Amino acid sequence: MLVYPGPARNLIARAGEFSGSKGLPKNFTFLLDPDYKVTNLYGLRWNAPRETAYPSTFVLDRQRTVHFVRISKTHGGRPRTAEVVAAVSKLK
């Protein structure tokens, strides 16, 4: 699942820009979070000008057990793709 937070105004268009022309894999759910309910529930709100939420990546199994977490206070702290793929690969 991908959660895209932001003000309701133009949120669908902004989310579309984020996912790009390639789209997302078939098994991904794209959830819009216009009132920051999910973002606030997990303490991820980045309440700064032109920001919405801290860049965050979670890998959970079907029982919702968390196997990987990366919450960054900057844009440069996102995990590398290989790290996330490795965490997902361990679920199988």
pLDDT, residue 13, reads: 83
Same domain flag for 74 and 49: no
End-to-end CA distance of the chain: 18
What is the rounded CA–CA span in Å between residue 1 and residue 37? Answer: 15
Side chain identity at residue 45, one-letter code: R
Same domain flag for 44 and 65: no
Give the residue numbers spanning the domain of 39: 1-54
**Tokens for 75?**
């844009």
Reading phi first (left if > 0) and then psi (alpha if -120 to 50, else beta), residue 73 is in alpha
Report strand pairing: 56-60 vs 2-5. unpaired
Same domain flag for 68 and 82: yes
Same domain flag for 46 and 60: no
Indicate the number of domains in the chain. Answer: 2
Same domain flag for 29 and 59: no
pLDDT, residue 42, reads: 92
Sequential pLDDT tens for the chain (92 residues): 888 898 888 888 887 777 677 777 787 788 889 999 999 999 999 999 989 999 999 999 989 899 999 999 998 999 998 999 999 999 97
pTM above 0.75, yes or no: yes
Same domain flag for 75 and 45: no
